[in-house]
Structure 1
Amino acid sequence: MEEIKQIICQAEDKIAKWAEEISDYIYNNPELSDEEYKSSAYLVKKLRSIGFNVTYPYLGFDTSFKAEYCSDNEHNGKTVAFLAEYDALPGYGDAHNKTAHACGHNWIAGSTMAAARSLKDISRYFNGKIILFGTQSEEKTGSKVNFAELGAFDNIDAVLQMHLGRVNCVDTTAMAMTDYTFEFYGRAAHAAKEPEN
């Protein structure tokens, strides 16, 4: 197991600059939900250039995609998928462009691209399929829900998501898996839907 960890870390180290360039591009070209045409096209081009087969657009969503790489021709192994986000928020940018990546989706795009590429680069050590889903409009409609309803995650052994936080952790409590009832009073507010509040 330690040998595999070392191989993965070496693969990640080799592509760190590549991942940073992706994050920087997405950060410097912020696009609102359902308008991520530059971002999605850029990510698709990068994925195709490293050997992924890409379906774009995907499931009828203009700026979503599904990128696949199979380590063997017969696909005898497991399938792991990563979820990339790349939409920005309104109202957080400067006077020139009021749109900005205030929620870190540029970093999520770069990191999930790096994770998928790292696995691809060491795929000679395992049989399986690597998928990267480009999930548009996460700040507005949450396309992952649509993906699930349309069967995109069927027959996948593990789907991995990441997000920015104060600490690094692999195992965290997912409140989305537990039912809670909250009652709020006051004005509705969300950074993407009602930035004025």
Structure 2
Amino acid sequence: MTHKTHCTLDDVVDLEPGLREIRQHLHQHPELSNEESATAALVADKLRALGYQVTTGVGGYGVVGTLRSGPGTRSIGIRADMDALPITEQTGVSYASQTPGKMHACGHDGHTSMLLGAAEQLARSKNFSGTVHLIFQPAEEIGFNSGAERMLAEKLFDRFPCDAVYGLHNHPGYPVGKMMFRSGPFMAACDTVNITIHGKGGHAARPHMAVDPILVAGSLVVSLQSIVSRSIDPNETAVVTIGSLHAGHASNVIPETARLEMSVRSFDAGVRKILEDRIRTLVENHAAGYGARAEIDYVPGYPVLVNHDRETAFACEVAKELLGEENVVENLPPISGSEDFAYFLQQKPGCFLRLGNGDSAALHNPAYNFNDESLTFGAAYWTRLVERYLAD
């Protein structure tokens, strides 16, 4: 190899208009988890045109683009997610979603576009020696049986060997061009708990002849909050949120059932187990105390995302080279959101990092929009990371 330098922001400036066009096209045409057919087709077409070996249909609509250069034997994987959310957009932008009730409210349109930008720069410079696998993953937002799980079930890393794997997510509230890292536990495990309280329906005027599941559910909402404050070590982090409570249809009728839906988050496997045990025990006994019965559907979600020390240090070093030390946060506090990239990190060493999205609305908000000024930062970073990892 004759190259003596690695990718800079100046190297990808010319890609910016095309990346913006791709990103805004994807934004206009969002596809939910397990529906990403058009997005996957666009990605595959772009990669083929750049000379990548392209494999489609991996774990659903997953696409893997493979490029080799030089005699190097090492390999690296870079992942971007592709799916949108069931949210009605309220951004007011000219390229807003054309599909009612669906929008890219988490920036996966930007993640996909940035990685396509890196794909183009890597293909035209080939300033590396080894193999790069660009992994475009479906169904990150679904919460369980996700795209990452299904890609791994279809032997992703056997078919596309990677010595390390990397991914990123945009981060509202931090300036564009700033990157954030953390080694070790970084993003939370997230479990979903569906609870049905079975009581005895009756007339609102004769509550003594019924078993009111709404009363049980209402008092249970308060009692469940005691788990974090009284059963979890104060030095640990845990979240128990009841996001949904439904019961009854008429003011003069005591219903038969009430249903609660909960999100439970933690950063430690031991804490995760305590939360499940305490929730099950508390819910069952609480309902029994009122003469009701509780049915619990405990759905395990994504595990804790744990970044590997060496790979995180390397990724952080590359960011400092590209952006300057003043634009790199080395020890960002843990994030209570969850991410199925955690499954990749259970099988391969790697790092999941954050990229500033400026002063945008929060993720999963109908007013959220990915910041197109981030596109060249992401494309340049992924290119330089691959070049540095696969240096000759």
Report if the CA contact (8 A) 2:58-2:151 is conserved. Answer: no
Report if the CA contact (8 A) 1:82-1:159 is conserved. Answer: yes
1:150 Cα deviation from its structure 2 partner: 4.2
Q: Deviations over 1:11-47 (max 9, x none)?
A: 3223222222221111110111101111110111111
The equivalent of 1:78 in structure 2 is 74
1:64 to 54, 62, 65: 62
Q: Which runs of 4+ in 1 moved over 4 A?
A: none
The equivalent of 2:30 in structure 1 is 30
The equivalent of 2:123 in structure 1 is 120
1:88 Cα deviation from its structure 2 partner: 0.7
Q: Deviations over 1:71-95 (max 9, x none)?
A: 13xx524212211211110023369
Q: Deviations over 1:46-86 (max 9, x none)?
A: 11111111011124x2x1111111113xx524212211211
User: Residues 170 and 12 (structure 1 numbering): CA distance in 2 closer, same or farther, change over 3 Å?
Assistant: farther
The equivalent of 1:91 in structure 2 is 87
Larger Rg: 2
Distance 2:25 2:238 in 1: 38
2:131 is paired with a residue whose SS is strand
In structure 2, runs of 5+ residues without a counterpart are 91-97, 190-235, 244-260, 264-363, 365-392
**Identity %, equivalent residues:** 23
In structure 1, runs of 5+ residues without a counterpart are none
The equivalent of 2:163 in structure 1 is 157
Distance 2:27 2:41 in 1: 15
In structure 2, what residue type is equivalent to 1:169? M
Distance 1:26 1:127 in 2: 32
Report if the CA contact (8 A) 1:116-1:131 is conserved. Answer: no
In structure 1, what residue type is equivalent to 2:40? S
Distance 1:185 1:177 in 2: 14
2:132 is paired with a residue whose SS is strand
1:108 to 111, 132, 136: 111
* 2:155 counterpart of 1:145: no
Report if the CA contact (8 A) 2:43-2:63 is conserved. Answer: no
1:115 is paired with a residue whose SS is helix
In structure 1, what residue type is equivalent to 2:166? L
Distance 2:39 2:262 in 1: 26
Q: Deviations over 1:119-173 (max 9, x none)?
A: 23221x3211121112111111431233345442353123121111033215335
Distance 2:154 2:237 in 1: 28
Report if the CA contact (8 A) 1:89-1:100 is conserved. Answer: yes
2:157 is paired with a residue whose SS is coil
Distance 1:108 1:189 in 2: 29
Report if the CA contact (8 A) 2:240-2:262 is conserved. Answer: no
The two structures have a TM-score, normalised by structure 1, of 0.79
1:22 is paired with a residue whose SS is helix
The two structures have a TM-score, normalised by structure 2, of 0.42
1:189 Cα deviation from its structure 2 partner: 6.5
More off after superposition, 79-88 vs 29-38: 79-88
C-alpha RMSD over aligned residues: 2.7
In structure 2, what residue type is equivalent to 1:186? I
